[in-house]
Amino acid sequence: MNLAHLHIVLNHVPTLGSIVGAVMLIVALVKRDARLKRISFQVLAVMALLVIPTYLSGSAAQRMLLTRSDISQSLIEVHQNSAMLSLILMTFTGTFAWFGLWQARRFSRAGSWTTAAVLVLSVLTAAVLLRTANLGGKVSHPEVRYEESLVEETGWRAPFSSFANDNSWVWPASETLHFIGMTLLFGVALLVNLRMMGMMKSISFAAVHRLLPLGILGFILNTVTGMVFFIASPELYVGNTGFVIKIALLIPAGLSVIYFTAFDQPWAVGPEKEAPLTAKIFAICVTTSLLGVMYFGRMLPFLQN
């Protein structure tokens, strides 16, 4: 099984999940159902994590099709441009959805502006993901193509790649922001996980949880700068075993952050109290995953095929 197979498996999940999340949120707002609203936020936050390996595996699949004369390369370019827009929108949607979950824990309800942002972004993201999926279907199924699909479209990725590689300040600036994001993400995650594993018992989990937005800010910085690196030089990452492992480890780390925000068990951990076994397992998983992300990120230059 290669990354192209993985893309086939994954590509329906963010599309259908974003639609389900958007519909659930609309129903929740109409019915004023706070519980359903929280569930919709959880769904959208998870989809924001899963769209990352979906896009990256799609880029690997695209490189495998470069030599296929029966598939229009311009059609593939249109599909990948739409996929990048989907990734950006889904990332924003998931970020606001997670922030809504954080607000619901911190202040008993998500802010009205946060909810409005998630609603607009989720509907827009679902529409763009549907278009992306439709274009992907035309790439893999010639029987559904029509002439309009074959219009040349250069897109913006190639100019962006040239800009990043031709300007000497782009990579150092992105690397600086990437390491700042890594420091925020790992530092906050380490504090949360150490508390869950039994250290710093004088501090309640609710107090530590206030720091999580800083960790999410670090995650956003890493995602944005990581995509700068990937678009600028995809050949350094596609097919790189270390990069595949790094992304695979990033998903459970993100899911653990959602667990600590959305589920009730960690919130029962007050001062001088032990965390439940489930919370300890999640803490160990996220710490191990983030250590793996850092290790394989550092080893990328040495693991190229």
Spans of all domains in the chain: 1-155, 156-300
Q: Which pLDDT belongs to residue 156?
A: 64
Rg of the chain on CA atoms, in Å:
20
Q: Which pLDDT belongs to residue 152?
A: 46
Number of residues that make up the chain: 305
* Cα separation, 21 vs 196, whole angstroms: 30
What is the amino acid identity at position 301? P
Q: Which pLDDT belongs to residue 149?
A: 44
Say if CB 86 and CB 45 are below 8 A apart. no
* Cα separation, 126 vs 130, whole angstroms: 6
* Cα separation, 30 vs 126, whole angstroms: 19
pLDDT in 10s for each residue of the chain, 305 residues: 566 667 777 778 888 999 999 999 999 999 999 889 999 999 999 998 888 888 877 776 666 666 666 666 677 777 778 888 888 889 889 989 988 988 888 787 888 899 999 999 999 999 999 888 877 766 665 555 554 444 445 566 677 778 888 888 888 999 999 889 888 888 888 888 888 888 888 888 778 878 888 888 888 888 888 888 888 887 777 767 888 888 888 888 777 778 878 777 777 777 878 888 888 888 888 888 888 888 888 887 777 65
pTM over 0.85: no
* Cα separation, 268 vs 273, whole angstroms: 9
């950006």: which residue's tokens? 88
